[in-house]
Amino acid sequence: MDTKDFWKLIDDARALVVDPADAEAVAERATALLAERPADEILTAQQLLWDLMAASYRAPLWAAAYTINGGCSDDGFDYFRGWLIAQGREVFERVVADPDALAGLPAVRAAAAEGADLEGEDVLGVAWDAYREATGEELPQDAFTIDYPDLAPEWDFDFDDAERVALRLPGLDALYG
């Protein structure tokens, strides 16, 4: 399994659920699909998932998640990025490059109208659950590494500072400001 295969797994799972914006449903289907693969591919998928988590560990995206969810702890940011991964490669890459692009996503617009949070905690456990289902064993603790980059210092401010966030994320500010 490589990155392309991982994203195909997510796309296949999204195609099998009623609402592809529903990260929990996508995670459930992705788990079932991944559990059909050999154990070594499941282990590789776990590392690929956390490589994507590291690639999306960006202060501007954290500010966007904070804006959308009305606050965002460390764990909350993980869950938000899980939701983002469940949206598929094109959305993931576009939003990591420009977090304000979230304002144009129908799921974000619906969440803003409903006052709903966007989280995908279950996405983070796809490989754990698939490995257990496929092998009857727990995923080895040393099966992956997480290497988060340093956050951009120019974003080192309180995300409750509405003026600063609005300047940097005008689209999201228009939805949530």
Give CA–CA dist 100/98, Å, rounded.
5
In the prediction, which pLDDT does 141 show?
Answer: 87
pTM, rounded to two decimals: 0.96
Q: What is the pLDDT of residues 67-110, one digit of tens each?
A: 999 999 999 999 999 999 999 999 999 999 999 999 999 999 99
Tokens read off for 82: 């899980």
In the prediction, which pLDDT does 24 show?
Answer: 98
Q: What is the pLDDT of residues 119-152, one digit of tens each?
A: 999 999 999 999 999 999 999 989 899 999 999 9
